[in-house]
Amino acid sequence: MRTARLVKGGASLLLAALMGGAAWAQDTETPAATPATEVPTETPVETPAAAVPDAEATVSHVDCDASPILAWAPEDMGDLTGMITLCREAYVARFNPQTRNPDWVVEVLNPENLKGTADRDDAKFQADPDLVRMNVETRATLPDYKGSGFDRGHQAPAGDMKRSDEVMMESFYLTNMAPQVGIGFNRGAWRKLESVVRNWAATRPGTSLIVITGPIYKDGAEKRFMDSSSGETKVQIPDAFYKIVFDTTRRRSIAFVLENKKLDFNAYKESLTTIQAIQDQTGYNFFPHWSAREATLQETNVANLWR
């Protein structure tokens, strides 16, 4: 395992396209084998300059000095005090100690980095070792989920992590999890969406997909927390989850919001939304490097010419 370093600072027209050959891949607590797919060679993606954090904000960055994924992170617009950015080989996560969940998780997917033979059966859910090392007490624990009735829902799916055993292991850190309804969501509609996105990435040679995933807590809604076998926890239950996908070569994007409840298996097809709508609900500025013209085009259109 790498040694972490701490640095302080601060829609129906598209249904046919969405259905296009989506591969099936498991990302629940009950594993299933996924057939191997022949994929083309990776074309390097040009990454934007990383956003400069607010100098007055207190954010911890772990292992982020050389992360190419960090450049795609959303721009934070609110209070960053206590937030922790965790840069892993295959994803970057922003951990929120108030909700004890990640606020967002960013991946860069392409045909090449989806190759591999790492098996989720060899990984296990575990506390994030960096938060343990940093003595962060306001974090989710394994007992928090025991008897809660909620799944430990991957934000960066295990199905995207076959490139190495280490990458697979890192995807099982609790900082990559949030409480998700199991039957009909994490084991159904959400898993289906993850599979569709993964298939897009595996079958688009010469490009990379930027995938940003996270929870939504509705304004005005009563905060809900998991009840475990040991009593009430401090882990907040999201009302919904979002997933944004941006094709770096075709310059096209698509966004989804799914409510955290039992849904029809193909609910993602009826869950298209705009990036602007997700920004309004989360307070993040996604893809801040976009020009004003591109931001208007990408953020205000549902599934901007996605295919």
Query: Helices then strands (H, E): number in the chain?
Result: 7, 15
Cα(23)–Cα(198) distance, rounded to whole angstroms?
8
Does residue 26 or residue 112 have the better pLDDT? Answer: 112
Share of the chain above pLDDT 70, in %: 81
DSSP 8-state symbol, 187? I
Residue 136: give the domain boundaries.
20-300
φ and ψ of 38, to 5 deg: -75, 125
Query: Binding site: which residues?
Result: 186
Q: Measure the CA angle with vertex 243, ends 242 and 246; round to 5°.
A: 145
Query: What pLDDT, in 10s, does the model give residues 168-210?
Result: 999 999 999 999 999 999 999 999 999 999 999 999 999 999 9
Task: Determine which one of 61, 154, 198, 204 is catalytic.
Answer: 154
154 is catalytic: yes
The residue ranges of DSSP E strands in the chain, in sequence order, are 6-8, 59-62, 75-76, 83-87, 92-96, 101-109, 150-154, 177-181, 209-216, 225-228, 231-236, 240-247, 252-259, 272-273, 284-285
CA distance 189 to 195: 10
Report the pLDDT value the prediction gives residue 40, as an integer from 0 to 100. Answer: 36
CATH of residue 141: 3.40.570.10
- State the Cα–Cα distance between residues 70 and 92, nearest whole angstrom: 6
Tens digits of residue pLDDT in 239-257: 999 999 999 999 999 999 9
- In tens, the pLDDT along 116-133 reads 999 998 899 999 999 999
Phi/psi at 64 (nearest 5 deg)? -105, 0
Per residue in 13-40, pLDDT tens?
344 444 444 333 334 444 343 334 333 3
Residue 246 lies inside a defined structural domain of this protein? yes
- Which pair of tokens denotes residue 158? 């295990």
Domain membership flag for residue 227? yes
Do the domain assignments include residue 122? yes
Q: Which residues, at least 6 apart from 203, have a Cβ–Cβ distance to it below 8 Å?
A: 21, 39, 111
In a domain, 41, yes or no: yes
What is the spatial distance between Cα 228 and Cα 125, in angstroms, rounded to a whole number? 16
Cα angle 87-80-64, degrees, rounded to a multiple of 5: 20
In a domain, 24, yes or no: yes
Averaged confidence pLDDT in the chain? 84
Q: What pLDDT score was predicted for residue 77?
A: 77
Q: Is residue 140 part of a domain?
A: yes
Residue at 216 is within a domain: yes
Residues forming the annotated binding site for Mg(2+)?
Answer: 186
pTM of the model: 0.83
Residue 210's DSSP bridge partners are 108, 246
* Model pLDDT, residue 51: 45
Three-state DSSP class for residue 296: helix
Residue type, 162: K
Residue 5 domain flag: no
Domain count, the chain: 1
